[in-house]
Amino acid sequence: MHDERLTLIGQTADDLPAISALLQDATLRAADLGYDRKARRLVLLVNRYRWESATRSRVRAALRLETVATVQRQNWPTAPDAVLNLLSLTQDGDWLVLTFAVGAALRARAEVIEIVLEDLSAPWETGREPNHA
């Protein structure tokens, strides 16, 4: 399997649909996110399903949101090992909204859109493709 690592930078609302599509069905543990208030950076470590690949595979990736003044959680699990499935990344006014399955969400108020999605590992094969039936 090729070790083609993706790095994508988003700086406008027009960039969000492509980044959201690449993140759809990424999974993360509830504890795999960090907000550095001083640096104004929100980081999520995810296992991203590689929709752009011909093979069923995932890759460890980091999603960084910069210029973040405030982060809010909704219906966030209390167990740090709870696994969340990311559905979308959208914009709602000054907020970037990460929506997860089962009603969980993160909202980050960003001064400007400055997003980096970066693959961190070599991909690994997975037995199945995510299904939304």
Give residue limits of the domains in the chain: 7-125
The answer, as to whether pTM is greater than 0.75, is yes
Q: What sign results for the dihedral spanned by CA atoms 29, 31, 34, 37?
A: positive
Q: Is the pLDDT of residue 122 over 90?
A: yes
- Average confidence (pLDDT) over 42-67: 95
Is 60 exceeded by the pLDDT of residue 49? yes
User: In the structure, what pLDDT confidence band is assigned to residue 4 with cuts at 50, 70 and 90?
Assistant: confident
Structural Rg of the chain based on CA atoms: 14
**How high is the pLDDT of residue 3?**
62
Q: What residues pair up with 52 in beta bridges, in sequence order?
A: none
The arithmetic mean of pLDDT across residues 76-105, rounded, is 94
pLDDT exceeds cutoff 80 at 131? no
- Proportion of the chain above pLDDT 90, given as a percent: 87
DSSP label of 50:
-
* Contact between residue 50 and residue 123 where contact means Cβ atoms under 8 Å apart: yes
pLDDT on residue 133: 53
Stretch 104-124: mean pLDDT? 96
Q: What is the mean pLDDT of residues 11-29?
A: 96
